[in-house]
Chains A and B, each alone.
Chain A
Amino acid sequence: MPMPSRGRSKSIETANARLAEMLVLPTWVMLIVVFALPIIGAFYLSFRNETLGAFVAAKFIGFDNYVLAFADPRFWESIWVTLILIVLALVVQIPLGIGLAVLLHRNLAGTQIFRTVLIIPMLLTPVAVGLMWRFMFDADLGVINWAFEQININGPNWLGWRWPAIMAVTIVDSWQSIPFVMLITLAGLAGLPKGPPEAASIDGARASQIFFYITLPSLLPVVLVIAMIRIIDCLKMFDLIFILTGKGGPGTATQTLGMLTYNTGFIFFQISRAAALGVLMIALVAPIYVMWRRATEYAR
């Protein structure tokens, strides 16, 4: 059988590369239309004074929208709220998710049923979840404060005060997200070699020592990826807050940057100011994206 010549082989490679490019082209076009163009559009809008409700000719106003954002205490407060929600989410969800995953990984009796039940919250839509929890958190009619009353504890007015409202958002977000943390960790646990823990066990290491010195360090890349995904999820958290606390209430207590951007654009009709906030949000998310890329590379 004659070997293909070097020239022919190169032309086949070139043809394959072109075919691959052609096949990827629709995806690129879609990405440009769906992501790149809106971002460029938002960037352009952020330097103008477009307002939907003014009916006056818009003009170029330079960095005014950015100056306005930096001078607005609501902007800084929304970043602060976003950070608080991220920290609380990580502190609550990662340990609990890992703990549940470790328990389920032991394949105790009833594990399958427990695993299925735990995944249910993840499958529900945030709007339905928000409505359900909003009613449950109601200080007069809600089941949560009723349960507190049964044990002679006066439950807080969850949605009427700043910190209880933040806690309420964290509770509901955790209820929905812990199953996700648990599932990814379970996958990570399944992929770990069994040798090192067994060897440590033979050497007399306790279960807690095996977990903290062998299992957890081995899971670190997975945990990093989970943390990055949860940070990104918290940054874009919108529907839950929209429903649960009535667009970021009480007052601005749970108004995240995403919520502020929505309010500015779609409630105040200040399209250009909202675009500037959107651009600032991209600037905030970009370093997290870089960290996420590094975490995934580290995980490999």
Chain B
Amino acid sequence: MPFAKKLFSAAAILLASTTLSWADELNVFLSPSPSSTAIQSFIPAFEKATGHKVNVTEVPYGEMHQKLMLAVQLKQGQYDVAQFDNSFLTPFGAAGTMLPLDDKIAASKEYDISDFSKGQQDYGKYKGQTLGLTLSTEPFIQWYRTDIYDALGLKPATTWDEYKANAKAVKESGKGDGAIFGFGPNVSWWWMTMVWSFGGKLYDENYNPTVNTPEAVAGTQFLKDMLAYAPEGAISASSDDATIKFLSTDIGAMVQYSGYWGMLSDPANQKHAGKIGTAPMPKGAVDVTHLAGWNIGIPSDAKNPDVAWQFMEFVLGKSNAKNYLNAGAAAIGRKSIITDPELVAKYPYLPVLDIPEGTRIERYPQIRVWPEFEKAALDALAGIMNGSVEVKAGLDALQETEKPILAQENAK
């Protein structure tokens, strides 16, 4: 037998044995994030337990939704499991590109949906159908410096008025800046929260913009007023920048997604470790919780939907819930997790993830033109924040800009 033939035969046998050793292959689409890292840490155990091979494709956040959109439109079964931002629930739902998971959830003791509050049970729902499991529970919460607050006799604010008064007290005491939001390229996150919190909405049920109502103006004015108590560079601070400033300089308080708690694990951000407290986000005219976080689901063209569910159940089920958090993921707001004394000692922010019944949960606007709507708002808010245009005038102009954008929402 010539050498080349022997080599070819050996390679063929090796390839066949490798292929035959896996029951099924699962293609998982993820975005680099603590959640993704945690998910991947479970893959060896899943493969060993089930015999299914798991392939991971990681795509950066800035590109992931374009890629996923394209993949689901091609309907070639490219992915069996896909991580996605909650703001994409509507386009995915409208196009029927994600499998409803309600039957699988209801039948799964391991996943145990009753371990979630009502608001969180609905987090991945589109028109009553659950298209994505919660991959992270990240409400806007209040972060504050316990050492500064204790020294000044301040308590975490329960209302926005108190929040402003606390910020003023810290600033005037000379102990640091009062408070910070990300006033720069992500200011829309805080802006919409303020609009909701002050009783406004971004648009009505017919997709007419409502960004210049008295409530929206009041919320925007509050946001702008808070610049006076923020560090000078806050006006251009992204969400990450604001968090880094809070963690590395002296700032009394910050409202930020709970998921940013993971930044504290970076040695560069531990200057104030042990001196950071958390509390629910202050209330305005309306008790609102701005809830964000990742979802994960099964594309409707998935080749192995049952194995995909098996994988999601394995990683996100109750048995591995503690391990998932300890693997570095942003927390999922399971009741059993956020009330676990051992975990709370390790992750003190967990109790704040207990979203009370009665609060109005607001998610990223569920409209497919949201990216364009948000960009128009960001452009307008840049002018409002730096004072080149008055709040009301800026929002009036934004109202006109948003009309044709929202009109596309009704276009067929």
Contact = CB atoms under 8 A, between A and B. Distances in A.
B184 A246 contact: yes
A218 interface: no
B361 interface: no
A259 to B, nearest CB: 11
Interface stretch (A229-237, A250-258, A278-286, A289-297): A250-258
Interface in A136-150: 138-142
Contacts of B66: 52, 266, 269
Given A249-B382, A251-B379, A55 B236 contact: no
Interface in B358-377: 368-369, 371-372, 375
B372 A268 contact: yes
Given A52-B73, A249-B382, 4 more contacts: A139-B233, A140-B232, A246-B238, A268-B375
A269 B383 contact: no
Please classify the interface of chain A as helix (H, G, I), strand (E, B), loop, or mixed, using the class held by over half of its residues.
loop
Contact of A269 (B94, B238, B371, B379): B371
Contacts, number: 96
Interface string B104-123: 00000000000000000000
B233 A140 contact: yes
Contact of B185 (A142, A157, A247): A247
Interface in A195-225: none
Interface string B317-334: 000000000000000000
Interface residues of B, number: 41
A42 interface: no
A263 B375 contact: yes
A54 B368 contact: yes
B380 interface: yes
Interface string B87-103: 00001001101000000
Contacts of B19: none
A129 B266 CA distance: 23
A141 B233 contact: yes
Interface in A37-53: 52-53
23 contacts: A52-B69, A54-B408, A54-B411, A138-B241, A139-B231, A139-B233, A139-B236, A140-B232, A140-B249, A141-B244, A141-B245, A157-B236, A159-B184, A160-B183, A160-B233, A249-B236, A249-B378, A250-B236, A251-B381, A253-B382, A263-B375, A266-B63, A269-B69
Nearest to B177: A140
Contacts of B39: none
A125 to B, nearest CB: 16
Quick one: which of B232, B234, B245 has the most chain A CB within 10 A? B232
Contacts of B49: none
Interface string B66-89: 100110010000000000000000
A270 interface: yes
B63 to A, nearest CB: 8
Interface in B172-228: 183-185
A99 to B, nearest CB: 32
